[in-house]
Structure 1
């Protein structure tokens, strides 16, 4: 791997050429380990801080490479892939609200009826997003430190609002003065991978999933999507699935028929579409037979930065309802595998009364979900 390290060191020093973000995946685990050993040996002799990041979960590197350049690799031992941009899956921001108590979506999925049996206690929920508002009173009892992948020395503080909204729906616990989420005693671990504009790169997402696996997170909310397929992201999602970590992902908000976003499109994740108050599929939802379940996603009130509450719409909001439901399920039936959780969600889904949803997908119903889990698992 010395030749690869020579090439990469030279590429990083090529300031006269325009660089683009790439992911280099090693197809042989031994090659990956050998490269890292060689690279660590060189670090003391490299003048400036290196932008090379190791993506251990998928045996890859994320780094800037001069355009048109490629690693000198024999055969297919190293695969070079664009480090694509990813966007959070929320529609334009709605209005600030003074709503309090239990939002309509939390009621619709019958979460309150389950709280006498399960509240999500001891379940660790990863939220890969824009961070959270650590000062929000609705989240005071729900938040753990998490990680800021953009600035490692800082808390994953939300500078956008999207991540706080997602965390509120999952696990807010302030019924009398604020709002209640689906699983009010679950622990939310925010992973800040997205900047204040709601943009991240695939490598940031992979690092976030890697962190969740290493820190024994039970379920991960990924309220974002991309239209292009990334093998690196697939490998990370599949790696989490094999490790017992379920990923819940949004189908996207482009109103497309027969096509949904990645990573929801990967069969190892739970793909979520949105419904409105009437139980109809929301017009903005991407839909296809690959959707596993629908949940409330239109005009959802939840926590917002600076201690406020805001109404938002999008498959992001639907996804957070499903993630909260999974936290309730895992607290009620610990030890369920990702495959079992996905099967329970699909088996217990309530048939949609309206629209043209694929017959395989229905609406999230927590009472039915717990009944199926108790009866069959």
Structure 2
């Protein structure tokens, strides 16, 4: 492989022309090829160190780069050594926003999964929870004691401040801790590490997600909430999810809100995640949730009250909201049994779930129940 020729080809082909919305991921099979390529890419034709071309991002977790789409025809020396894949857009998984609310306390979903019954034994203390989302409201009184700095992948030198609201809502359900004036989340003493990969519109590239997963693995995050979905399968994202799983970082993902039966979104569709569908207050599968035999567990996702921007609270629905309940429950579990591996946690989540009333849809999964989950873990 002539790494310098390939690097020069990339410099030429990756220059944005007209449309800036399309990106690609170039992934290498061989680690040595990847290293040689990076070294060549850092060096300009005169032999001096010049850094990466503008718009090129290194995805070390999967031996790849992300760049603006140009020529999709690989040079001959890359045949069989690398492949192109579209760097797709991904969106957060929530239905249109509900109303701002004043009633707070312990939301119905947190009560329904019986989290308060576990707080005398575990509150998620010191469990590291990554939330790859739109950021978080660092000034929110319900989250003030639950947050670490995290990272802003869109503007590296600034805090991952939420400019959408979705990430703050997710973080509140997981770890809010303001009993007197605000709300309580599922695991109020767990620690949220916000990873801002999504912009103010709730949109991100797959490469942003991969960078977020890479950050979580590098910082030894215990469990990662990924309340977003896409219809297209990405080999690069699957590789990142699988690498995290093997490293001991478990990812919880939402099944999607299209009401599809027999199909769910990626990355929840990958076997190395915990795929979550939503239920309503009638203990039934919510009409909006995607469902199939690939869903691992259902959890409250309809009319969920949680934290919002500017210190407020908002009611929202979606499999995003269901996913955050499961992430919080895993934080409770890991505070009590920190030695558990991702495959053990997934099996416990599945086996301890309670049956649901909805008999119309084909399913094998039940609904999350924290008390049953912790009891099952004690029997290991």
TM-score, length basis structure 1: 0.96
Contact 2:299–2:367 at 8 Å: present in 1 too?
yes
Aligned equivalents of 1:125, 1:283: Cα separation in 2: 29
Contact 1:100–1:175 at 8 Å: present in 2 too?
no
Question: Which residue is 2:170 aligned to?
Answer: 166
Contact 1:19–1:66 at 8 Å: present in 2 too?
no
Equivalences for residues 127-138 of structure 1 within 5 A: 127-138=131-142
Equivalences for residues 19-168 of structure 1 within 5 A: 20-42=22-44, 46=50, 50-168=54-172
Change in CA separation of 1:304 and 1:68 when aligned onto 2, cut-off 3 Å: same
Question: Which residue is 2:181 aligned to?
Answer: 177
Aligned equivalents of 1:148, 1:194: Cα separation in 2: 9
Aligned equivalents of 1:243, 1:319: Cα separation in 2: 21
One of 216, 224, 228 as aligned partner of 1:224: 228
One of 286, 289, 292 as aligned partner of 1:288: 292
Aligned equivalents of 1:17, 1:282: Cα separation in 2: 39
Question: Which residue is 1:236 aligned to?
Answer: 240
Aligned equivalents of 2:72, 2:37: Cα separation in 1: 22
Contact 1:280–1:353 at 8 Å: present in 2 too?
yes
One of 332, 335, 342 as aligned partner of 2:339: 335
Aligned equivalents of 2:55, 2:178: Cα separation in 1: 42
Aligned equivalents of 1:290, 1:95: Cα separation in 2: 32
The CA deviation at 1:171 is 0.1
Aligned equivalents of 1:350, 1:361: Cα separation in 2: 8
Other structure's SS at 2:169 match = helix
Other structure's SS at 1:66 match = coil
Question: Which residue is 1:11 aligned to?
Answer: 13
Contact 2:13–2:71 at 8 Å: present in 1 too?
no
The size of the alignment, in residue pairs, is 376
Question: Which residue is 1:201 aligned to?
Answer: 205
Aligned equivalents of 1:238, 1:91: Cα separation in 2: 29
Aligned equivalents of 2:21, 2:269: Cα separation in 1: 30
Aligned equivalents of 1:86, 1:153: Cα separation in 2: 23
Change in CA separation of 1:352 and 1:6 when aligned onto 2, cut-off 3 Å: same
One of 266, 269, 293 as aligned partner of 1:265: 269
Aligned equivalents of 1:212, 1:41: Cα separation in 2: 30
CA-based RMSD of the aligned residues comes to 1.7
The CA deviation at 1:359 is 4.6
The CA deviation at 1:99 is 1.3
Contact 2:138–2:161 at 8 Å: present in 1 too?
yes
Other structure's SS at 1:87 match = strand
Contact 1:7–1:72 at 8 Å: present in 2 too?
no
Change in CA separation of 1:65 and 1:105 when aligned onto 2, cut-off 3 Å: same
The CA deviation at 1:267 is 0.3
Contact 2:8–2:41 at 8 Å: present in 1 too?
no
Change in CA separation of 1:19 and 1:73 when aligned onto 2, cut-off 3 Å: farther
The CA deviation at 1:16 is 7.6
The CA deviation at 1:356 is 3.1
Q: Which runs of 4+ in 1 moved over 4 A?
A: 13-19, 43-49
TM-score, length basis structure 2: 0.95
| Greater shift in the superposed pair: 46-55 or 132-141 | 46-55
Other structure's SS at 1:362 match = coil
Aligned equivalents of 1:291, 1:344: Cα separation in 2: 14
* Structure 1 unmatched ranges of 5 or more: none
The Cα offsets for residues 194-220 of structure 1, whole Å up to 9 and x where unpaired, read as 000000000000000000000000000
The CA deviation at 1:12 is 3.8
Question: Which residue is 2:196 aligned to?
Answer: 192
* Structure 2 unmatched ranges of 5 or more: none
The CA deviation at 1:136 is 0.1
The CA deviation at 1:330 is 0.4
